[in-house]
């Protein structure tokens, strides 16, 4: 099985790979030298990774607890294991697909001697850093807006990171009202599933929230008749704060059990982060660049 795709050089440091819903921006450096050659090879690998997952789509579209036997394909197993680690019954392994592909590409590059890798799969980002190297990732308080409000600075510690975002206006359906949920974890696959779960948890009963069966919003959704958020009208501040607090509690639980490092949740004027994210998160609109605190 082969899919139409496009691979091209974007600039002196970036290669773009597009195939169906996948839009992958790949950057890799060896010391301070961009490795466009390796990034180009990785782009070709990403198409094969997507094809492998597509062949497993019927299995990966089931809710994870309905999958009795793990498949042989490593990527498919990773997706299943990631949503299983989150534990929410309303997740299918497809909740981890973008992060899993980003991880696979980043690992392929890192294994070939690159010292800094950033693979962005539509906002789900896999980062690999050799000792002494750093990375900075911007955070959008709204998924569908280019405006940045905060940054995550990765200066030391583990070599592998995942920074992923979910919310209203993103590529995937959500059961909540968050305009953006950004999760930091040890890899993008788990972060991707966690961002979906935390975004789903950002919900409060309100007549301003329209929910419809997923297959009415997107006929190709694997969620079937499960209710998802189709539109959000004007909400009271109390409703927003309660919804964001619920998302924070979900993220806190995942942070305490070691599944993720932390999360940033935003809706309208309400934006909070969990304790685990505090050492990495900075407000770019403040000269002091103080981390956002988590209060609820």
pLDDT tens for the chain, 296 residues long, are: 556 899 999 999 999 999 988 999 999 999 889 999 999 999 999 999 999 999 999 999 999 999 999 999 999 999 999 999 999 999 999 999 999 999 999 999 999 999 999 999 999 999 999 999 999 999 999 988 889 999 999 986 789 999 999 999 877 889 999 999 999 999 999 999 999 999 999 999 999 999 999 999 989 888 989 999 999 999 999 999 999 999 999 999 999 999 999 999 999 989 999 999 999 999 887 644 444 443 33
Output phi, psi for 75, to 5 deg: -65, -45
Read off the DSSP letter of residue 31: T
Name the CATH topology of 6-283.
T-fold (3.10.520)
Contacts of 229 by beta carbon, 8 Å cutoff, 6+ apart: 168, 173, 174, 175, 176, 177, 203, 209, 210, 211
Q: 272-275 long-range CB contacts below 8 Å, 24 or more apart?
A: 272/244, 272/248, 272/296, 274/248
């Amino acid at each position: 099985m082969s899919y139409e795709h496009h691979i091209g050089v974007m600039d002196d440091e970036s290669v773009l790979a597009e195939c169906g819903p996948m839009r992958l921006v790949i950057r890799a450096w060896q010391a301070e030298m961009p490795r466009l050659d390796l990034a180009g090879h990785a782009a070709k690998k990403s198409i094969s990774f997507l094809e492998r997952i597509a062949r497993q789509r019927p299995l990966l579209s089931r809710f994870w607890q309905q999958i009795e036997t793990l498949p042989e394909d490593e990527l498919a197993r990773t997706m299943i294991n990631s949503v299983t680690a989150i534990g929410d019954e309303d997740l299918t392994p497809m909740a981890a697909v973008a992060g899993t592909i980003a991880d696979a590409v980043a690992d392929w590059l890192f294994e070939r001697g690159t010292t800094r890798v950033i693979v962005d799969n539509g906002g789900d980002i896999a980062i690999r850093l050799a000792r002494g190297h750093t990375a900075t990732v911007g955070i959008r308080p709204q998924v569908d807006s280019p405006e940045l409000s905060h940054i995550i600075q990765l200066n030391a510690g583990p070599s592998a990171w995942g920074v992923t975002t979910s919310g209203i206006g993103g590529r995937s359906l959500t059961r909540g009202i968050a305009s953006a949920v950004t999760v930091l974890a040890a890899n993008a696959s788990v972060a991707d599933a966690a961002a979906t779960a935390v975004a789903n948890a950002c919900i409060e009963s309100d007549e301003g929230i329209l929910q419809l069966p997923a297959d009415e919003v997107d006929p190709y959704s694997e969620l079937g008749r499960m209710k998802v958020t189709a539109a959000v009208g004007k909400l009271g501040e109390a409703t927003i704060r309660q919804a964001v607090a619920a998302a924070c509690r979900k993220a806190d639980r995942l942070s305490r059990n070691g599944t993720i490092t932390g999360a940033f949740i935003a809706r309208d004027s309400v934006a909070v982060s969990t304790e685990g994210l505090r050492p990495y998160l900075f407000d770019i609109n403040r000269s002091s660049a103080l981390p956002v605190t988590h209060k609820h």
